[in-house]
Amino acid sequence: MLTNEIKTQFNEILEEIGNNLDISETQYKFAVQSYQAVGKWLADEKSLLSPYKPEILPQGSFLLGTMIKPVSDSDELDVDLVCRLEGKKSEWAQFHLKKIVGDRIKENKTYKEMLDEEGRRCWTLNYADSSNYHMDILPSIVSEGHRVILEKAFSATDFKDFEKTAIRITDNQDEKYYDETNPDYWYKSNPFGYAAWFQERCSISIRKSIFLSESVNPMPTYQKEKLPLQRVVQILKRHRDIMFDGDDDKPISIIITTLSSKSYNKETDITTALTNVVNTMESHIETKYSPEHGQWIKWISNPVNEEENFADKWVESPKKEENFYNWLNKIKSDLSSTYELRGIHRIQESFSKSFGENLTKVSFGNIADREYKKRESGNLHMKVGSGILGSKVAGSTSVKSHNFHGKNKK
């Protein structure tokens, strides 16, 4: 059982690690300006797409506020985007929609040079030379008035009509990719409904609950402060990245995010939230009988589409399931053993193994700098007998500042 003083110390450490996992405001603004420029090009009056009001919006971790920097500075950031079109020509199948979006991108000389090979569902633009990231653009069809529904979903605290936020997307592995013209029979996705659900799970007060509505604005602002659940997801994703070091069979982010959100119990501090999440997320994994596979399988439901199983790849790739449980056991063990440690150097060493040496070094260095400033101003205290530094509380004594010779000032 952690005392309040020790919990406060770990909260500061975990919050600082989260801060240093965030992409910078400069990176964020560059990505927003870049995808808005692409959207403007697609929607230009000279474009064949213009009548369908194309718009680029973020999805995934960029929208949820859970994006993290890569472990290595040489690795690229992955920005996931949706290209929304209101309607289409009646004769267009998925192939035609995907192609016309790609063709319009290629009409821009700069974008053509940046364009990667066509993906299964997306077009990818590489910005590696200037900012070391790439954008995955997902062509989609929505109904008229979809934007109004999104604004309502992201501004209401009790939005439940997730079906209306769904989009229809292209998939070149679909057997009807070339001939099905009715979007009702295309693959359905709901990144915005999921984001609205995640927002509700994040909220700890009405004042703090609404943060995603900015994402459907023309120029969304950078979110400097994160809610506990957002930080928990970021921390868990970094632990996974360190443990699996690029392994394609590592636990996927949507599973980590979903199970964390279902487990989160509105805790207001990161330490308690993180502990609760890792200890209860397994309880949200169901076992269902699958007629398709003729066996019982693990099932992690999409909260806005109960028929979708985020763990569907576990059946064909048992290593993915094995790695998930190995990771979950490891994060439980790592946190439990670290919480037992006393002494900032021992804690730093333990966190370095879990979250990476460079990230941990920077985070602890920032904390040390803040404590130095508090010490110099006389605002740093230590509770008698605890060895824990912090703000003034009952039973604490002021920590004297030091001169350059290492001696306390009189």
Q: 180-189, 200-209, 300-309, 377-386 — which is least confidently predicted?
A: 377-386
Q: How confident is the model at residue 153 (pLDDT cuts 50, 70, 90)?
A: confident
pLDDT at 360 over 70: yes
Half-sphere exposure of 156 (CA within 13 A, CB side): 14
Burial of 337 per CB tally in 10 Å (0-12, 13-18, 19+): exposed
Q: What pLDDT sits at residue 307?
A: 87
Contact 260, 277 (CB under 8 A): yes
pTM of the model: 0.89
pLDDT of residue 372: 83
Confidence band, pLDDT 50/70/90 cuts, at residue 49: very high
Element (H, E) at 350: helix 344-355
Q: Rounded to an integer, what distance in angstroms lies between the CA atom of residue 367 and that of residue 356?
A: 17
**Across residues 247-262, what is the average pLDDT?**
97
Sign of the CA dihedral with 195 first, then 201, 206, and 211 last: negative
Is pLDDT of 148 > 80? yes
pLDDT digits (tens, 9 = 90+) for 87-106: 999 999 999 999 999 999 99
Other beta carbons within 10 Å of 311: 22
Question: What is the mean predicted confidence (pLDDT) over 297-326?
Answer: 95
Q: Determine whether 102 is exposed, middle or buried from the number of CB atoms within 10 Å of its CB (0-12, 13-18, 19+).
A: middle
CA-to-CA distance for 392 and 383, rounded, in angstroms?
Answer: 8
Res. 67: pLDDT tops 50: yes
Greatest C-alpha distance within the chain? 85
In the predicted structure, residue 15 carries a pLDDT above the cut 90: yes
Q: What's the DSSP call for residue 43?
A: H
Exposure of 252 by Cβ count < 10 A (0-12 exposed, 13-18 middle, 19+ buried)?
A: middle
Query: In angstroms, rounded to a whole number, what is the distance separating the alpha carbons of residues 56 and 84?
Result: 6
Mean of pLDDT over the chain: 89
- The pLDDT score that the predictor gives to residue 402 is 44
Could you tell me which residues come within 8 angstroms of residue 210 by beta carbon, excluding any fewer than 6 positions away? 154, 155, 157, 199, 203
Q: What confidence score (pLDDT) does residue 376 get? A: 79
Question: What local confidence, expressed as pLDDT, does residue 41 receive?
Answer: 97
The pLDDT value recorded for residue 219 is 59
Contacts of 248 (CB under 8 A, 6+ apart): none
**What is the average per-residue pLDDT within 252-269?**
97
- Listing DSSP states for 46-75 in one string gives TSTTGGG--EEEE-HHHHHT-----SSTTS
**Token pair of 23 as six digits:** 């992409």
CA atoms within 13 A on the CB side of 279: 9
Please state, in angstroms and rounded to a whole number, the distance separating the CA atoms of residues 275 and 335. 8
Examine the pLDDT at 309 and tell me if it is beyond 50.
yes
- The Cα–Cα gap between 69 and 49 comes to 34
The answer to which of 215-219, 231-235, 304-308 has the lowest mean pLDDT is: 215-219
Q: Mean per-residue pLDDT for 164-172? A: 95
User: What is the average pLDDT across 281-293?
Assistant: 94
Are the C-beta atoms of 229 and 203 separated by less than 8 Å? no
Domain ranges of the chain: 1-22+226-376, 28-221
* In the predicted structure, residue 395 carries a pLDDT above the cut 70: no
DSSP letter at 76 equals P
- Confidence band, pLDDT 50/70/90 cuts, at residue 242: very high
Count the alpha carbons within 13 Å of 378 in the hemisphere toward its beta carbon. 2
Rounded-to-integer distance, Cα 193 and Cα 150, Å: 8
Determine what percent of the chain falls in helix, strand and coil, rounding each to the nearest 5. Answer: 50, 15, 35
For residue 61, the one-letter residue type is S
Could you tell me which of 245, 93, 103, 221 has the C-alpha nearest to residue 169?
93
Check whether 406 has a pLDDT greater than 50.
no
Q: What pLDDT score does 207 carry? A: 45
Which residues face 126 on adjacent strands?
134
DSSP 410: -
